[in-house]
Amino acid sequence: MAQPFSLATCDVVGFDLDHTLVRYRLAQSAPLIYNSFAHYLVTEKGYDKELLTPSPESWDFCCKGLVLDLEDGNFLKLANDGTILRASHGTKMMTSEELLEVYEKRKWKHFKSDSEMACRSAQYYFYDNYFDLPGSLLCAKLVDCLTRNGVQKPFEFWKDIVAGIQHNYKISAFKENCGMYFPEVKKDPGKFLQKCPASVTRWLRQLKNAGKVLLLITSSHSDYCRLLGEHVLGSDFADLFDIVITNALKPGFFSQIPNQRPFRTLENDEEGESLPSLEKPGWYSQGNAAHLYELLKKMTGKPEPKVVYFGDSMYSDIFPARHYSKWETVLILEELGVGDGVVSGQGEAEPREKKGKYEGQQAKPLSSKSEQWGSFFVDAISGTENTEESSEFTWACKRIQTYSTIAIPSVEAIADLPLDYQFTRFSSTGLKTAGYYPGPPRDLFSNGEPEMPS
């Protein structure tokens, strides 16, 4: 039986920023992200103007956990053993027969054992966070357009997607008012950002007063981080944290060993000199987890301080923090906070996030269950007759259970709990529905609990 997890036993509590402490109004932020790419592709790269007008119902295509096979233009939903559960060519779902024509025995050739498979490569791209998902719809529509124009494969649009990322999100884009994304957020932050409730700021202060070292580690640059923090947490948000690290370039922040990036000083949001080591708390840029941990040893007075890190991205936050740094990890999974309830410990449905809500609009289309792709957590292999017996965990769900200590719908969901609250952690030997707070998603019980190979 796995030992329960408690924040009281942690010496250091770290947080990602975007979609973790800062929650977005997804109904507004997703179209902005989509348009920032689509406008660039149409005006700068000459793609079809059809990309500029996605229909409202087309957003159902977006689903975390999909992988884009860049060569074939296919989107795949994988089981934990690499079996393809569902697939589409562009936005058009593939039949079981079409799938078998492309993928022998429904197996994806790039699949490897879990820790060996990168989430991004020249051959494929996994979609695992809300900044990514609008891009999945855009890429699917790109494939539709190219297919209608006679392009079969290989599909070579990815270089233009990367150019769009560079144009809209390069480190100087916020300061230069470049692209479409940053100018819109700067003009009206409240349109895209949800105010953080007082319960969360009280909880952060409670952690600090209990002697915890608090970290903020974000890949956002310092100027955007400051705008987000001040709008969501207040003008004194930086005082809530002992160490703030921006432009962290995750997952490399955790995984670039032994060639770690040095920390850099910051002055007026400009990166300065590189530092051979991290000597004191403060606000820094870039850096690496190894040098950070040496400072944490000094700050806590412990040879092996216990760190927990909260984040929303398996690729950037949870997997590297656990796999490389051996930190405890808390996955922010908004999919636990929508739909018709989670299953409580007594097996009864209860309202999600019943302890309160963030201010403002609550519509979150990207975190809603996709009718096209089905459950993010579990699925049957399409084209088989006995769907109950073939029900399997998705690859994305297996990674949650493998690399997360617990998964919660939001920081707010636990802010009113005592610091010594005992969470049931994910465990390879325990129930596969354990680890979710306030309870597991109902989809895991649609056909009884699926079997998970060890």
Residues 315-354: b if buried by 16+ CB within 10 A, e if exposed? bbbbbbbbbbbebbbbbbbbbbbbeeebbeeeeeeeebbe
Query: Residue 260 domain-assigned?
Result: yes
The range of the structural domain enclosing residue 63 comes to 26-187
Rounded Cα–Cα distance for residues 372 and 61 (Å): 6
pLDDT at 387 over 60: no
pLDDT at 363 over 90: no
Are residues 30 and 19 part of one domain? no
pLDDT at 344 over 80: no
pLDDT at 175 over 60: yes
pLDDT at 306 over 70: yes
Quick one: pLDDT band at residue 454, thresholds 50, 70, 90?
A: very low
What pLDDT shows up at residue 364?
40
pLDDT at 361 over 50: no
Are residues 320 and 309 part of one domain? yes
Of 142, 166, 187, which one is at a domain's C-terminal end? 187
pLDDT at 307 over 70: yes
- CB contact at 8 A, 305 and 296: yes
The tens digit of pLDDT for each residue in 1-11 reads: 678 999 999 99
Are residues 253 and 165 part of one domain? no
What pLDDT shows up at residue 290?
95
DSSP string, 337-361: GSSS-EE-TTS-EE-TTTT---SS-
Q: How many CB atoms lie within 10 A of CB 389?
A: 11
Are residues 157 and 211 part of one domain? no
Query: Per the structure block, which two tokens stand in for 149?
Result: 């124009």
Are residues 317 and 241 part of one domain? yes
Of 187, 215, 241, which one is at a domain's C-terminal end? 187
- Give the Å distances, CA to CA, from 43 to 78, 86, 177, 179, 319: 35, 34, 18, 12, 37
| φ/ψ of residue 85, rounded to 5 | -80, -45
In the block, residue with structure tokens 């936050």: 317
pLDDT at 154 over 90: no
CATH number at residue 284: 3.40.50.1000
Are residues 181 and 275 part of one domain? no
> Strands across the sheet with 67-69, in order?
92-93, 84-89, 74-78, 67-69, 124-126
Residue 392 or 200, more confident: 200
Mean pLDDT within 219-236 = 96
In the block, residue with structure tokens 């398996």: 314
Query: Residue 365 domain-assigned?
Result: no
What pLDDT shows up at residue 417?
98
Percentage of residues in the chain with pLDDT exceeding 70?
87
Are residues 101 and 14 part of one domain? no
Mean pLDDT within 398-414 = 95
Of 187, 203, 230, which one is at a domain's C-terminal end? 187
Residue 336 or 20, more confident: 20
Mean pLDDT within 369-389 = 76
pLDDT at 439 over 60: yes
Active site residue 16: yes
Query: Residue 347 domain-assigned?
Result: no
Are residues 407 and 269 part of one domain? yes
Are residues 170 and 148 part of one domain? yes
Are residues 207 and 142 part of one domain? no
Are residues 301 and 245 part of one domain? yes
Catalytic pick from 18, 69, 128, 443?
Answer: 18
pLDDT at 453 over 70: no
Are residues 18 and 104 part of one domain? no
Mean pLDDT within 363-377 = 81
pLDDT at 40 over 70: yes
pLDDT at 346 over 50: no
Query: Residue 224 domain-assigned?
Result: yes
Rounded Cα–Cα distance for residues 338 and 242 (Å): 33
List the beta strands (DSSP E) in 16-120.
23-24, 67-69, 74-78, 84-89, 92-93
Catalytic pick from 16, 69, 72, 128?
Answer: 16
Q: What contacts 204, CB < 8 A, 6 or more positions away? A: 214, 240
Quick one: pLDDT band at residue 149, thresholds 50, 70, 90?
A: confident
Domain count, the chain: 2
Query: Residue 396 domain-assigned?
Result: yes
What pLDDT shows up at residue 353?
39
Active site residue 11: no
